[in-house]
Amino acid sequence: MTSYSPERHRSERLAEAQALARSEEHLASMQTRRSVRRFAPDAVPPALVENALRVAGSAPSGANQQPWTFVVVTDEEVKRRIRAAAEHEEELLYRERATDEYLRAIEPIGTTASKPHLTEAPYLIAVFEQAWHWEDSEKRKHYYVRESVGIAVGFLLTALHLSGLATLTHAPSPMGFLREILDRPENERPFLLIPVGYPADDAEVPRLEKKTLDEFAIFVS
């Protein structure tokens, strides 16, 4: 077991005007982020994806266990297999598994069982959560796994968006096929599938409204 070994925290404290300007610039950029379902075939510089993954890897996690695996897929045949399996599960979802309430909830999004983005996007990033790991021939539990992986995914989406790339968070249900196709070990569970690329010129997104600050934030002072 590793003992506590602290080091001096170092960070830059910005002047108030500089901090506000940076904050507003970031806010304006993030408010343009949309989930995209049509991707251009244009190649994406690998460094953009790799740097975004490094950002994701910097996320905080329970006990610093970093319980995530990001599998980056560019192989066309593997993408085709993933799409076929995902569309099979989605067809069953829309036809048999989903409740009427759920179908009404997603109607404004305009989704169907067809998932062309899974083969159109130059990159697919399959995110897996690690429930546990082997250490000294013993199974060691990970803590706050879903919270940790969710934060890392948020970091990843932000980094990709700030690099000018479009993404979609896709969670076909169930997702067990991802572990089989990508040959992942028993301690990993599929968490999310993220197509990444430049948006197609004719890409459309649904008209949606986000809640205002007053609707989702409470300040106690």
* Residue pLDDT, tens place only, 115-157: 999 999 999 999 999 999 988 889 999 999 999 999 999 999 9
Percent of the chain with pLDDT over 70: 100
What pLDDT does residue 1 have?
61
Decide: pTM greater than 0.75: yes
Q: Which amino acid is at 188?
A: E
Rounded CA Rg of the chain: 20
pLDDT bucket at 93, cuts 50 / 70 / 90: confident
Q: Does domain 39-200 have CATH number 3.40.309.10?
A: no
Torsion of CA 108, 36, 144, 70, to 10 degrees: 150
Question: What confidence tens digit (pLDDT) does each residue in 166-194 have?
Answer: 999 999 889 999 999 999 999 999 999 99
Strands (E) in the chain, as ranges, are 68-73, 123-130, 132-135, 138-141, 166-167, 188-197
Tokens at 59, concatenated? 């996320």
> How many Cβ atoms sit within 10 Å of the Cβ of residue 161?
17
The chain-wide mean pLDDT, for the chain, equals 95
Question: What confidence tens digit (pLDDT) does each residue in 94-111 have?
Answer: 888 889 898 898 888 888
> How many Cβ atoms sit within 10 Å of the Cβ of residue 158?
18
Q: Is 2 helix (H, G, I), strand (E, B) or coil?
A: coil
What pLDDT does residue 13 have?
93
What pLDDT does residue 2 have?
73
The domains of the chain are located at 39-200
Residue 211 to residue 133: CA distance in whole angstroms: 39
What pLDDT does residue 203 have?
94
Looking at the predicted structure, is the pLDDT value of residue 80 above 80?
Answer: yes
Tokens at 64, concatenated? 């610093």
Name the phi and psi angles at 26, rounded to 5: -65, -45
